[in-house]
Amino acid sequence: MKQILFSLSLVWVLMSCGTSNKVVTLDDVFSQQYEQKMISSGQNFPDFYAENDSLNLFLIALHERIPVKKFQKRVGWSSAELNTHIEFLKSKDWLAPGDSLRPSIFIAGSDDGKALYSHSTPISLEISRAIEDELYKIKKQYQKTKLSKSQSFETMAFFILSDVLLDNWQINAVEKEFLKAETRPERHQNYYYYAIMEHVQAPREAFGIYGNQYRSLNDSTTLSIYGNNRTVANTKLKNEPQFLEDILKTAPRLSAENQQEMGDIAALFKPVLLDILEKHRNYIRHVYQVSGYAKEISFEEFFIWWYHFIYTETTNMLAENGTLTVPEDGNFYYIGMH
């Protein structure tokens, strides 16, 4: 059965690779907008700004196989400055060691994102069908929670079926039990995943990927946002006091106990999700190779970012089927109590 699944998935890869990507030029690199994303915890984060000295654009140009000399001429770096920047990026583990000059963080331009979504389809389809098959059990588990007394499942469906089942309450299991990763990549004595993505689908976030963001309101309360329109929300939170007031009046409040209840729901689906990923492991590794990312980053770093495309497409499939409704502004807001 696993061989059949891999064969069908491989056919999908070959079909997806049927059209060649357009050549990305330096003008393209300098004219596009980019987002920088990170997966980390605690004090693990870069100790420098990649936008300084156009280092982010240099990494993108390397990813797109643009000759170093062309980039050097465009930005006016001397040979000494070029070598300084290269050694700096290597010291931060953002460039692979050796002379190949390949980024060691995840970079996705427009064509990369399209290809990754295309490759996601067989996995996302199986996950979405599994969620629909398990929906009765998921709803039944939710009805046992205290949160269900004040919030209907329909109101919470986007949050539960996407963030709880696939992202925030599940990402550690994907890292540790599927990827077998004990720690995140070590970079200059810090541990984090990092990505630079072309800002496709503006004003929504890059590639429309759903994700989490937290804003402390006080010592015991956090405003949490799950969605793909958080940049717009942050602007409104900064400039429109009434926007925050409306959220505080209407957003569900999740106590520490409620958040544990969400963990119980995630645990219900975890073995199903891990089984699907495991069945597709050979396919996932094949995509890692044919996509070109194997020449730049580790399998673990590749997959953790591709997984964001996979669960985003799964979420959109569930929305298309009417299983959940994505909020009109793309975001789900809740107040975390701790």
Q: What does the pLDDT read at residue 338?
A: 82
pLDDT in tens, 164-189: 999 999 999 999 999 999 899 999 98
As beta bridge partners, residue 215 has 223
Q: CB count, 10 Å around CB of 242? A: 8
153, 262 contact by CB (below 8 A):
no
d(CA 209, CA 229): 9
Is residue 321 pLDDT above 60, yes or no? yes
pTM: 0.92
Burial of 35 (0-12, 13-18, 19+ CB in 10 A): middle
Pure H helices in 64-152: 68-75, 79-91, 110-133, 135-143
Is residue 17 pLDDT above 80, yes or no? no
| Beta strands in 123-208, from DSSP E residues, in sequence order | 186-187, 190-191, 193-198
What does the DSSP 8-state code read for residue 36? E
Q: What does the pLDDT read at residue 167?
A: 97
184, 44 contact by CB (below 8 A):
yes
